[in-house]
Amino acid sequence: MENQRESYRWVIIFLLFLSLFFGSLAMNCVPPLLTEISGEIPLTKAQMGTVMGVTMLAALFFAPVGGGMSDKIGCRWAIGAGAVVLALSSALRSVAYSSSALIGYMFALGAGMAIIYANVPKSLGLWVPPNEMARANGISMAGISVGMAVGMGISAGYLSPTFGGWRGTMLLLAAFALVMAILWMLFYRDRTGVSADTDQQQNFAGNFKKVFKDREIILLAIFY
């Protein structure tokens, strides 16, 4: 039984790595493609900056929402929902014909990504023992950096020429994100018997008040 649980925790780590990898890839494929995109959608330099910056703005609002979602419906459904939002917003970028539409879809993509990564610690904590959490979290979060590097490196030189331009690239990455949403929903299960009681989980506002009374958490938030 213990061997099965240990094997399963590596499945979870692998799925989280891939989810963050493909999410980061979908997000960070854009900067090298901005010159090509601006050939079809006129973009000022300020708008180019907004296209990417708005994804971080979305995280400000949707990371807390993503954390609250897992308390209500569990990590399986929360990350699944985030991955679907990410996939749909990536696909919608392929039919954007104005700067405002592109910026709006990038905001939605950032929201989906924020929902996913806000749930990584809890998803791991339900299955990974405390003495292995740092390693498991590090491996999972590495997906963001690897996805960023790959997205920056191959989107303009390989993906766009191979898949019919930047619009085809957005559709391809949307398909990857959708596959990850399906795999996550198929293979991840929230572990029962280790979470807080229902009343405590659903007391969203009360939990936030407790969190913001913790000096160490405030310091971490300021640091990030």
Per-residue model confidence (pLDDT) at position 178? 95
Two tokens, residue 31: 């900067």
Asked whether the CA dihedral 66, 144, 186, 194 is positive or negative, the reply is negative
**For each of the chain's 224 residues, which pLDDT tens digit applies?**
556 677 889 999 999 999 999 999 999 999 999 999 999 999 999 999 999 999 999 988 998 888 888 888 999 999 999 999 999 999 999 999 999 999 999 999 999 999 999 999 999 999 998 899 999 999 999 999 999 999 999 999 999 999 999 999 999 999 999 999 999 999 998 877 554 444 445 565 666 677 777 788 778 778 77
Per-residue model confidence (pLDDT) at position 193? 56
Per-residue model confidence (pLDDT) at position 13? 94
Per-residue model confidence (pLDDT) at position 217? 76
